[in-house]
Amino acid sequence: MKSRHLAAAAAAALLPLSIAALGTTPAYASASPSASASRTSLPQTLSPAVARSQAKGEVADTQQISVAVSLKLRNTAELDRFITAVSTPGSVEYGHYLTPAQFAASFAPSASDVEQVRSYLRSQGLTVTGVSANRQVVDATGPATKVEGAFGTRERTYVDPAAGNRHFFANDRPASVPSDLAQVVQGVSGLDDHTVRQATAAPHATPSGYGPTQYDAAYRFNQLGTDGTGQTVALWEFDGYKSANLSTYNTQYGLSGPAATTVSVDGANYDSSPGDGQGEVELDSEIVRGVAPKATQLVYEAPNSDQGEIDMAAKIVSDNRAQVVSISWGSCEPDTTPSSMSAVNNSFMQAAAQGISIYSASGDDGSRDCTRSTSGSGVKAVDFPASSPYNTGVGGTNLTLSGGVYSSERAWSSSGGGVSTQFAKPSWQTGTATKRTVPDVSSNADPNTGFAVYTAGGWQVYGGTSAAAPLWSGFSALYNQKAAAAGKAHLGEANPALYQVAKGSSYSTAFHDVTSGSNQDFSTATGYDQVTGWGSPIGDGLANALLGGTGGTGNTVTVTNPGSQSGTVGTAASLQIGASDSASGQTLTYSASGLPAGLSINSSTGLISGTPTAAGTSTVTVTVKDGTGALGTASFTWTVSGTGGGGCTAAQLIGNGGFETGSASPWTASSGVVDNSSGEAAHSGSWKAWMDGYGTTHTDTVSQSVTIPAGCKATLTFWLHIDTSETTTSTAYDKLTVQAGSTTLASFSNLNKNTGYAQKSYDLSSFAGQTVTLKFTGAEDSSLQTSFVFDDAALNVS
């Protein structure tokens, strides 16, 4: 795995198999700094590296130091209860996730808490550089002498002999704050800069190692009938990538999907000149692409520091653009300040409440995760963030294939695993330990059975749990697409559901139980163990068990994908869908979404028949359910062309115009846009497209491609409601643009607010004979929400 040494820690900004520092001598004492009469110490803010390194002197008074002050969450008992309920299948609240605004209203630090911290920092001569959108972090910078005065400590320089006499700075004692401020401040990070880098492996001329076809077949991801369409995966990175390398990988394996997009955190963007971690970033992206090729990838890039990690966690959950987060960076718990871990974990709690799945590599040093860092190989330790109760820790195996399919697995001897010293045992965790144990699941990670990766202009074979985490993240994207087609909630925090399945009767059809091998201190066992967790995924079996919602029955429904279909307006169509059940005697029920207008499916036989009435291309998802609730799906495209004559058959061309399927398809929409909550009413029915409304900088899009037959008159209509908190009557701060292809049909803003829905109508006859993409783009600025809500869209031709 790629390990990010938390800046307050002594471990590593590790990349796979990096070498970290080991300090040897204690720091010397210093004179006490001046402080107010009543201050409260923050004992979790002292870097463990200080005690093992040699102090050399004081940091220059003028040296600029940036800090991240983390604030305490509110109503934490209720938050704990809600996260358990929203993440546990069978609960009344399961899958009813919060928006960032809802989380902020109930659990985030208050605006007055933030202002109290800002005022204090400014009064101490520091410059406040930002406040996270979720109000959990206040960033500030200033000269060392001002930082020392604000936090009651001294900043000193140190040398770490075990890391080649590398120099770093750190506070020589725990930070403190005025006692009244301690009521809202949880910790301070950035008071040290103890970080390390590592080199990458040599490239190969041609790809070797497992490619997508092999690992998708081994774990039966190719049996899910999904490709990640409509899903977004965030990659958690401290280095950059080259788009050309990702393109070479895609071309080699015939993959296509949305190009990866960089999201900068604290001004970081390494893509113009990636560092030693480039291979890690490209590994993460390529494995996710290999499993879920159509998923959108957001590459969050942050400075490799405590502050960078804390701010990245806060930004990901505040943006709320991704349903899945893949993390391949970390550090061992003993070398990481608890203050920084707690600050990041607060954002992970928000992620769980919002329904975001997080998969983290469990480490590549077995049960001695500090082997290449300050605490050393004599300490049993696990890796953070995998040890967070709101992350699914992913361990490693050695995978063997036979004839291109799964043959066997044994534990990779370097698979990270053990018992956390930081986090208590969650309610869903298996075992007798009183603390959280790691990992939860696993998949191939042994470099001897590694993955083909194209990076830095050449092919390499990569292993490590940093390959296992993105593989599981890709599976989560496939599952979420399948769940949406079945009208089920996406997975969210995965562990409660995964453990429920694993403890149920479907365990053997959902997981490969790895029962051979060990790491330094733990051996595999039947069921759960601290080397491979519950084991590796059986993709279709696990997805079906999760869709069952209560641990599943063990049945597997398999739907045969018929491949792309075509037809013509006015010509009868007939397609028989094939499906099978692993259990005998089951009655199968068929349903389909996204069918071309005029077609329907027989719920008993699976025959799709009828006469298409409108031209266009749609994505059809067929769902087959047996009597126990087990589900199988298959998705494919169906293109209907015009009649070819000079006339025009009257038809309505937009699919799912009222969004009443409960999912976007055949629209492509930003996460959370298709909505049935009571916050904004639908024009008719229960569902609508609700764009923006966050009160922060945000952009939502909804689009659908339609083919307008030649010779037709075409009219686009939709109902629009605009609700805003902006009070201006002259300035358009938040805007909605409606386009047909590159042509802008209309623009709306907060100035067009209305109390109900108004119907809009536009002539699209000029597009007859063409395929055109209808796109709605809502862009919101940094304050005061505007909601653009549209419903019941139609494109009528005659």
Which residues participate in catalysis according to the annotation?
280, 284, 466
First to last CA, the chain: 59
Tokens for 761, please give them: 């109508």
| Residue 185: strand, helix, or coil | strand
Nearest to 425 by CA among 499, 371, 358, 351: 499
β-bridge partners, 777: 701, 737
- At which residue do the structure tokens 């077609």 appear? 599
Tokens for 666, please give them: 């055949």
Alpha helices in 678-734 (DSSP H): none
Tokens for 786, please give them: 């505007």
761 Cβ partners below 8 Å, 6+ apart? 715, 716, 717
Burial (Cβ within 10 Å: 0-12, 13-18, ≥19) of residue 313: buried
Rounded to 5°, angle at Cα 262 from 259 and 265: 165
Q: Is the peptide bond before 537 cis (omega within 30 degrees of 0)?
A: no
Nearest to 616 by CA among 638, 598, 647: 638
- Reported as type and span, the H/E element at residue 79 is helix 76-87
Within 13 Å of residue 517, how many CA atoms lie on the same side as its CB?
A: 25
| Residue 564: strand, helix, or coil | coil
Query: Which three-class secondary structure string do you get for 292-344?
Result: CCCCEEEEEECCCCHHHHHHHHHHHHHHCCCCEEEECCCEEHHHCCHHHHHHH
β-bridge partners, 16: none
- Reported as type and span, the H/E element at residue 138 is strand 137-143
Residue 662 and residue 674 in contact, taking contact as beta carbons nearer than 8 Å: yes
Residue 432 and residue 461 in contact, taking contact as beta carbons nearer than 8 Å: no
Rounded to 5°, angle at Cα 468 from 463 and 473: 145
267 Cβ partners below 8 Å, 6+ apart? 303
CA distance 600 to 614: 14
Tokens for 16, please give them: 């796979």
Could you give phi then psi for residue 417, rounded to 5 degrees?
-175, 155
- At which residue do the structure tokens 């490799």 appear? 304
- At which residue do the structure tokens 């972090």 appear? 137
DSSP state of 235: E
Residue 569 and residue 642 in contact, taking contact as beta carbons nearer than 8 Å: yes
Q: Give the strand order in the sheet containing 185-189.
A: 127-131, 137-143, 64-71, 185-189
Nearest to 515 by CA among 499, 533, 541: 533
CA distance 721 to 731: 19
Tokens for 78, please give them: 């209720």
Tokens for 23, please give them: 């300090």
CA distance 582 to 546: 16
Alpha helices in 176-299 (DSSP H): 212-218, 243-253, 278-291
- Reported as type and span, the H/E element at residue 470 is helix 465-485
Nearest to 443 by CA among 514, 544, 508: 514
Residue 51 neighbours by CB distance under 10 Å: 14
* Kind of pairing between the strands at 631-641 and 565-568: parallel
Alpha carbon 478 to chain centroid distance?
13
